[in-house]
Amino acid sequence: MGLSFGPMGALLPELFPANVRYTGSGIAYNASSIIGAAVAPFIAVALWRYGEGSPFWVGMYLTTMAILTLTALLAGSETMDTDFDA
């Protein structure tokens, strides 16, 4: 959990200019939770049933999502020196 939520506290706010930083990061966090995490249990149960009780497909789903998350994180750009007012 620390590996997921630790960097998120720094990454999300820096994506937005200072005047909308709190609102932007709050909406981004909650929307991503609804879109990404709310359906995960349903997908996991469906894959578990598809595998006839085997957790293999659930593990493959989680691995795929972890790789997708890592790819998105690495594709993101550093905004430390970005002037948002320009």
Residue 80 has pLDDT above 80, yes or no: no
pLDDT at 54: 96
Domain count, the chain: 2
- Residue 85 included in any domain: no
Domain span at 57: 39-76
Q: How far apart are the C-alpha atoms of 60 and 85, rounded to whole Å?
A: 43
Percent of the chain clearing pLDDT 70 (strictly above):
94
Enter the pTM of the model. Answer: 0.69
Q: Which two tokens stand for residue 74?
A: 């690495």
Contact 57, 65 (CB under 8 A): no
Does residue 44 belong to any structural domain of this protein?
A: yes
pLDDT at 71 over 80: yes
Tokens 């909308």 correspond to: 20
pLDDT surpasses 70 at 84: no
Residue 79 identity (one-letter amino acid): T
- The residue among 34, 37, 27, 35 whose CA lies nearest residue 4 is 37
| Same-domain pairing of 31 and 64 | no
Of the chain, the percentage scoring pLDDT greater than 90 comes to 48
